[in-house]
Structure 1
């Protein structure tokens, strides 16, 4: 069955990187500075997600080949990182990275199999009259990596790592037919001739829930191609559930991701559900994210700490009178529950905080958000301000409102290496799956991973 899955998976193309064609520009106020773009010796343009300033979550194929003779070989441990909505004026960082040996367990099939088994039990419970949906095992793509940077990169915003479906709470955190905004810096035209300087955005959604059993015969739509639909009959005749480490999503507006920005996070409600991996050559509104659902348990020993933005707050101009809202996501990535008893420490009188969501026992892998308001009275701010939030013994989060520039022509250098990239032509095995019939067509196509 895994061999069949491997054949079917080839309908999704491998490409260099992914972004938004016919999208709309992201404004400075919409941009979140924990999402960055980068280049290295393997790719000219990918995106990543900063976690606690020290880590970068991205697509594994942005760092190394994941197939072929050089699969798994990292050509360079140097990254050129851009932080800002517009790349030509963005803050620039040169960093090296390591991948801790413990991270290898994140891609281990045994870890994923164990968590998938828990989820499948929940799937079976939805179809009680026929023993549940049939389990179809699928090849693990493992197109996800977390890099430990040699020097932190400050970021004021952040997100919470999350599964699409949480078997512990039986909660679907990214439900089907829920619109989310995808953002990227890749090509902006159908001819793939112009990379975006300013980040672009478009709208996307899932068509089935993560734990839905799906019908064995896909539906077809001229816009989306072949797509799966949920079984609605409790008898579950012909119903299937796919055990895999990626999830399909679909562009629903005029814009769509395409070559230019793999590794961009899929975000909804302050949660990071995965990174953009690849897309369909034929049906260009069909995409895949390498999702985090089967990885959450393995992340805990890798991080083993509480994660939050490296420098939560705002960068403003002197004299600013604006009232600002600052969301501070906090996530317990230790193996044990932690009792958070948040207290705001503020000598300026300019910060207030709604800490209700975090005022509780926070289980391992769980997260919460503290919502801070700064300058509710609209004073003119002429000096930099700071405060802090006490969470638990030995754990306090700094808050800073400063006058630092969000653009720069100066590079913050670490250990650096030259950046270059190659574009390749591959012979591609395109495949269409209709019901139980597999049609293979061998074509010679450009197939750059997103």
Structure 2
């Protein structure tokens, strides 16, 4: 479909105006590959937000939490002209697309209220204090850490948590965790780890992809541990990278095991790097970076081969207090092709965002005999902010499926997770759709004026995603 036809179709969207002219919309995933429907996680959504001028639309990603909440980048919203303002209590409208397509057929037009904002002065002060305290702890342990580095406690606060006016169903989910837990000293994103990032940004040719794209990125250091003061070139990613500090420089053996050149970089950001030609570029702000069952950060900006993500290590308590409930996927379960006899499995994350410990005793309520579960991880007392994962299996006897099935997982007297196996036809499998969507969508691309403005934005070295 040519650009003109795409632009015409785009005008059909009720809340999305054509010509997204903002620098947020330039390239995102370069040299990526199409995401297949079976790999799509429907808590990761594509969002459209009309700017204050009413003439432009910003496209970003976001992560659903329990159906009622959405976390994304602050600069994705157009609540105020001054992005440095605390926007808590302000409201707006979003269109949330769910599915691998750029303009998925299933979408939800929602109203939202900002309930947590990274620009809140109290939140910033708390985060910086935690960064400084952790930096001081590291310096006490590694006495040769560089005195002049590692104490630049930058805080960008490019994160907002939204409460939606209606629940957006999602079958999958992830536990919102820090990349590095300051108290337990647990690293949830090991150094030298390859991660698959999935988002809807533009391709290397500058066009909107038909479907979600994925690229492989890698970590070379994590936020919570000291790293090398200098950077080194890495041929694997074709870029200079910050590496984890080994406290020893072979070129200066007299310094001993606690050599100079190590720092703790106190900030609310961490970096990843694209493998080979695969890189992330602008266009995917707010999209979660996940590793296993953890959502560890949301995309913020890119510079050359590196991409920065806003992490939750110093603000998870604020997010928890804003949600203040036990959350799990709002429409847990799976989609099954009619007539399929395949056995299926899915993970159901449960997270305690209250201030109190919550005792869980998971019990499967299933009259059909088609379900089984491993809830050993959740048969415990969840402390505040912690989470667990239930592994749910369906149709282990490999029977042909020709109807929907429903069950429930009773977590406690107060919490029960409804489970649904929805029946779909071959043609609809994998589009990420969920019953109860908001209506039809359309295709789209930017026009000639947009391309001109987008080309101008490439003159700037650092761009928002």
Shorter-chain TM-score category?
0.7 to 0.9
| 2:168 equivalent to 1:153 | yes
CA RMSD after TM alignment = 3.1
* 1:32-431 → structure 2 map (5 Å cutoff): 32-42=41-51, 43-64=57-78, 72=85, 77-100=92-115, 105=120, 108-124=123-139, 126-128=141-143, 135-189=150-204, 191-192=205-206, 194-221=207-234, 224-233=238-247, 234-280=257-303, 283=304, 285-403=305-423, 406-407=432-433, 412=438
Q: CA deviation at 1:132?
A: 8.7
- SS of 2:319's equivalent? helix
2:12 corresponds in structure 1 to: none
Q: Following the alignment from structure 1 to structure 2, what is the Cα–Cα distance between the partners of residues 40 and 356?
A: 41
Q: Following the alignment from structure 2 to structure 1, what is the Cα–Cα distance between the partners of residues 436 and 391?
A: 32
Q: Following the alignment from structure 1 to structure 2, what is the Cα–Cα distance between the partners of residues 107 and 273?
A: 22
- The 8 Å contact of residues 300 and 310 in structure 2, kept in 1 or not, is answered as yes
- The 8 Å contact of residues 133 and 213 in structure 1, kept in 2 or not, is answered as no
The structure carrying a bigger strand percent of its residues is 1
Kindly tell me: are residues 371 and 132 of structure 1, through their superposed partners in 2, closer, same or farther at Cα, counting changes over 3 Å? farther
2:464 corresponds in structure 1 to: 449
- SS of 1:183's equivalent? strand
- SS of 2:438's equivalent? strand
Kindly tell me: are residues 112 and 271 of structure 1, through their superposed partners in 2, closer, same or farther at Cα, counting changes over 3 Å? same
| 2:42 equivalent to 1:16 | no
Measured against aligned partners, the alpha-carbon deviations of 1:303-322 in whole angstroms (never above 9, x if no partner) come to: 11111101100122332212
Q: Following the alignment from structure 1 to structure 2, what is the Cα–Cα distance between the partners of residues 99 and 70?
A: 13
- The 8 Å contact of residues 29 and 202 in structure 2, kept in 1 or not, is answered as yes
Measured against aligned partners, the alpha-carbon deviations of 1:70-124 in whole angstroms (never above 9, x if no partner) come to: 6549898111221001234431211111112787658722220233244325523
Query: Number of aligned pairs?
Result: 411
Structure 1: state its 5+ residue gaps.
Answer: 1-13, 414-419, 429-442
Structure 2: state its 5+ residue gaps.
Answer: 1-21, 52-56, 248-256, 440-445
Q: Following the alignment from structure 2 to structure 1, what is the Cα–Cα distance between the partners of residues 121 and 65?
A: 17
Measured against aligned partners, the alpha-carbon deviations of 1:117-164 in whole angstroms (never above 9, x if no partner) come to: 443255235415679995422331111111111111100000000101
- The 8 Å contact of residues 89 and 408 in structure 1, kept in 2 or not, is answered as no
Q: CA deviation at 1:225?
A: 3.6
- The 8 Å contact of residues 336 and 423 in structure 2, kept in 1 or not, is answered as yes
Q: Following the alignment from structure 2 to structure 1, what is the Cα–Cα distance between the partners of residues 105 and 73?
A: 22
- SS of 1:136's equivalent? coil
2:7 corresponds in structure 1 to: none
- The 8 Å contact of residues 169 and 434 in structure 2, kept in 1 or not, is answered as no
Q: Following the alignment from structure 1 to structure 2, what is the Cα–Cα distance between the partners of residues 181 and 85?
A: 15
